[in-house]
């Protein structure tokens, strides 16, 4: 993704006391007479975006921001006062193509000497290297052999002459397919059989638990019925009869105690 300056907002920039917010296009030209602020603007952009202060840039009292797209999901704001700069976004150590910073190129009128062999200072090599990604793509393309470059990629698979790295790709695909087949076999014959056995055991235990739960409920229901019947019979007995029975039981207990006492006295006399 290309990194691009979207907008510049700056105030009190040297000769540019009143510089209205400027929304930039792909290519932008700032022109004017000498000492009217063009270099001030370039130095403000540089100080906003980069950390390197070894260029001997003048001190600026200007305030403002430079809005940049392509670094994050939303536009990123930079200014001379903000410590975070473009260097904090370098990702050249990550795999894949590096970020494209070619759209940040600034050329001043006095610095058109990028190519000494061209009076304009710019030739095809410079354009490929700085203003587009063609130079990098050509460098990558030169390292790709003919066998690989003629191969095609479709529906997630590479097709081509089975030589070189393409042959290695097919060999690896075969090895992967064989491993997948072995894994399916292992799951079916070993892991799958063990899982089946455990599932059977779990089903059996669940059935036993269900049977015991039903038996517990039936026993509780039966005992509840018996208790209810006994309470009903007890409630149906007349109160005076129960009192008479209690007296008889107490008299029986008293006579039994007296009998045991007399037997003990008789044994002592003998």
98-118 pLDDT, tens digit per residue, is 666 767 776 665 555 555 565
The count of residues in the chain is 270
Q: Which residue has the higher pLDDT, 50 or 130?
A: 50
CA distance 255 to 245: 15
| Bridge partners (DSSP) listed for residue 157 | 154
pLDDT for position 14? 83
Q: Which of 151, 54, 70, 136 is nearest to 103 (CA)?
A: 70
Phi–psi pair at 114, nearest 5 degrees: -65, -35
Closest CA to 46 of 32, 60, 35: 60
Q: The dihedral of CA 212, 213, 214, 216: what is its sign?
A: positive
pTM score = 0.42
CA–CA separation, 124 and 127 (whole Å): 5
Interval 230-256 mean pLDDT? 82
Q: What is the pLDDT of residue 77?
A: 93
- Residue 199 DSSP symbol: H
Q: What is the mean pLDDT of residues 63-74?
A: 89
Phi-psi domain of 12 (left: phi exceeds 0; alpha: psi -120 through 50; beta: other): left
23-40 as b/e: b if 16+ CB within 10 A: eeeeeeeeeeeeeebbbb
Measured CA to CA, the distance from residue 143 to residue 128 in angstroms comes to 18
DSSP state of 89: G
Q: Are 87 and 51 in contact (CB under 8 A)?
A: yes
pLDDT digits (tens, 9 = 90+) for 174-206: 889 889 888 877 776 665 667 778 888 899 999
Residue 66 has pLDDT above 90, yes or no: yes
The predicted pLDDT at position 139 comes to: 72
Secondary-structure percent of the chain, ordered helix, strand, coil, rounded to 5: 55, 15, 35
Please report how many Cα atoms fall inside a 13 Å half-sphere around the Cα of residue 23, on the Cβ side. 0
Residue 23: predicted pLDDT: 92
Alpha-carbon span 100 to 97, nearest angstrom: 9
Q: Which residue, among 103, 42, 116, has the nearest Cα to 71 in the 3D structure?
A: 103
């Amino acid at each position: 993704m290309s990194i691009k300056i979207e907008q510049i907002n700056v105030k009190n920039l040297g000769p540019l006391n009143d510089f209205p917010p400027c929304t930039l296009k792909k290519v932008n030209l700032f022109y004017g007479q000498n000492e009217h602020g063009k270099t001030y603007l370039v130095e403000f952009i540089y100080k906003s975006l980069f950390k390197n202060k070894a260029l001997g840039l003048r001190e600026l009292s200007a305030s403002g921001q430079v809005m940049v797209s392509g670094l994050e999901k939303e536009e990123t704001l930079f200014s001379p006062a903000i410590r975070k700069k473009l260097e904090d976004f370098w990702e050249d150590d990550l795999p894949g193509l590096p970020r494209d910073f070619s759209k940040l190129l600034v050329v001043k009128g006095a610095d058109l000497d990028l190519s000494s062999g061209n009076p304009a200072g710019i030739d095809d090599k410079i354009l490929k290297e700085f203003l587009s990604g063609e130079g990098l793509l050509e460098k990558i393309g030169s390292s790709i052999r003919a066998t690989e470059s003629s191969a095609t990629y479709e529906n997630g698979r590479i097709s081509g002459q089975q030589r070189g790295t393409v042959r290695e790709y097919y060999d690896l695909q075969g090895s992967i397919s064989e491993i997948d087949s072995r894994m399916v076999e292992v799951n079916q014959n070993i892991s799958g059989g063990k899982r089946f056995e455990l599932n059977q055991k779990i089903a059996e235990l669940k059935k036993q638990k269900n049977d015991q739960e039903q038996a517990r409920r039936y026993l509780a229901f039966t005992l509840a019925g018996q208790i209810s019947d006994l309470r009903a019979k007890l409630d149906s007995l007349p109160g005076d009869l129960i009192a008479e029975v209690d007296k008889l039981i107490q008299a029986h207990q008293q006579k039994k105690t007296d009998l045991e006492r007399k037997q003990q006295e008789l044994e002592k006399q003998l």
